[in-house]
């Protein structure tokens, strides 16, 4: 969630298109509160053994992976093509990981760690949707 300032996230949250309540809550925060929440999350993930690079990459791609269609619908609706670079389309864990590998200079172990973290985060959502 580091790719744009809080006011942009706020506008996306206000659109009513965001489905994930945790992500929506983050999007609704002011810049200071958002930074504090992301820092708390980073501290928790660091205690679990994740590197700073993996944490930053994770915080960047998770909203794109979970709420990408809603984010892109908002970008299109608002006619904000200037934001397309900040919100690339990400449909799979592999695409999410590939997107951030170079930006955060992730090594092989960090790539595996990021993929595991993303998959772990998404798993409960998949389980809840099962009949």
1 found inside a domain: no
Number of domains in the chain: 1
Q: Give residue-wise pLDDT tens across range 62-120.
A: 999 999 999 999 999 999 989 988 999 999 999 999 989 888 989 999 999 999 999 99
d(CA 87, CA 75): 9
What pTM, to 2 d.p., does this model score? 0.85
CA 76 to chain centre: 19
With respect to residue 63, please indicate whether it lies within any of the assigned structural domains: yes
Token pair, residue 13, equals 């949250």
Position 95 in a domain: yes
Q: What range defines the domain where residue 55 resides?
A: 6-129
**Average pLDDT of the chain, as a whole number:** 90
């Amino acid at each position: 969630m580091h790719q744009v300032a809080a006011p942009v996230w706020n506008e996306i949250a206000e659109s009513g298109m965001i489905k994930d309540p945790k992500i929506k809550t983050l999007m609704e925060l002011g810049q200071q509160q958002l930074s504090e929440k992301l820092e708390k999350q980073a501290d928790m993930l660091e205690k679990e053994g994740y590197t700073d690079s993996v944490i930053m990459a994770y915080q960047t791609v998770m909203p794109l992976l979970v709420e990408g269609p809603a984010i892109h619908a908002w970008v299109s609706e608002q006619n904000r093509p200037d934001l397309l670079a900040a919100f690339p389309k990400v449909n799979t864990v592999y695409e999410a990981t590939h997107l951030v590998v170079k930006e955060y200079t992730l090594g092989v172990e960090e790539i595996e760690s990021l993929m595991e973290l993303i998959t772990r985060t998404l798993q409960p959502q998949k389980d809840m949707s099962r009949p």
